[in-house]
């Protein structure tokens, strides 16, 4: 029976040095990492290491559901919760709009940024994607504008329903969290789409103007 060859014993000091050398290099690479020396990987390569859920939803639908949920939650806690304490409609709309703006700036937009697979991927779903001090008052004013559009839509729908049914002493369509979230998110994406359209028109006009300048030169 052949005897097994005895494996050479590893030097424990050398093994320890190699171990710390390897980990020291990893720590140095992590500490000096920045946008310039970070390698760029393709989307297919990144998807290999991402968690895959059993229920696959498109990204745009996830953003819509998140916005609807936050708007509906604010409606539930503020409009329904404070409705018995704030009787003046204008005061209620102002308080409602302020809380919606705070929620958008501090919660909704940050959740969208957190869910982005790459930096800035979900900026197209925000009216003011820049994270700065100026975005806070802008989101407040924008939320009040959206709220005014939603309540105008509610009034128009109720006027049409009252005219059709003749029931003038009732409110056919009341404000509920789910439908409010749908209306609020719908107006939100409508204004975001208008902003993107205007930016596209301005960019096309600039390219056309620069092209004409180059031709004259």
Domain membership of residue 163 (yes or no) is yes
**Is 60 exceeded by the pLDDT of residue 4?**
no
Residue 32's nearest CA partner among 41, 24, 40 is 24
User: Per the domain annotation, does 121 fall within a domain?
Assistant: yes
Higher-pLDDT residue of 187, 59: 187
Specify if 7 maps to a domain. no
Whether residue 15 is contained in a domain is answered as: no
198-215 pLDDT tens trace = 999 998 888 887 777 666
In a domain, 82, yes or no: yes
**Contacts (Cβ under 8 Å, ≥6 apart) of 191:** 127, 142, 145, 146
Cα 215 from Cα 185, distance rounded (Å): 45
Total domains in the chain come to 1
- Report how far residue 195's alpha carbon sits from residue 162's, in angstroms, rounded to the nearest whole number: 35
Q: Is residue 53 part of a domain?
A: no
Establish if 126 belongs to a structural domain: yes
How sure is the predictor about 88, in pLDDT bands with cuts at 50, 70 and 90? confident
Q: Where in the sequence is the domain holding 91, given as residue range(s)? A: 58-210
Q: Is residue 35 part of a domain?
A: no
Q: Are 125 and 72 in contact (CB under 8 A)?
A: no
Mind listing the pLDDT tens digit for each residue in 150-174? Answer: 999 999 999 998 888 877 778 888 8
């Amino acid at each position: 029976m052949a005897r097994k060859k005895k494996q050479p014993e590893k030097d424990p000091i050398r093994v320890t040095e190699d171990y710390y050398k390897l980990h020291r290099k990893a720590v140095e690479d992590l500490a000096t990492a920045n946008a310039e020396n970070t390698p760029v990987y393709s989307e297919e390569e990144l998807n290999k290491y991402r968690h895959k859920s059993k229920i696959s939803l498109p990204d745009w639908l996830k953003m819509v559901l998140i916005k609807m949920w936050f708007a509906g939650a604010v409606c539930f806690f503020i409009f329904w919760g404070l409705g018995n304490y704030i009787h003046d409609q204008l005061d209620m709309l102002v308080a409602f709009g302020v809380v919606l703006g705070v929620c958008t700036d501090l919660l909704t937009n940050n959740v969208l940024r957190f869910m982005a697979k790459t930096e800035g991927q979900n900026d197209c779903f925000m009216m003011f994607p820049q994270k700065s001090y100026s975005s806070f008052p802008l989101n407040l004013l924008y939320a009040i504008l959206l709220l005014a559009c939603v309540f105008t839509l509610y009034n128009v729908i109720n006027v049409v329903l009252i005219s059709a049914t003749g029931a003038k002493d009732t409110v056919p369509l009341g404000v509920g969290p789910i439908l409010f979230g749908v209306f609020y998110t719908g107006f939100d994406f409508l204004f975001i789409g208008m902003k993107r359209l205007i930016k596209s028109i301005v960019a096309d006009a600039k390219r056309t103007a620069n092209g004409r300048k180059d031709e004259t030169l």
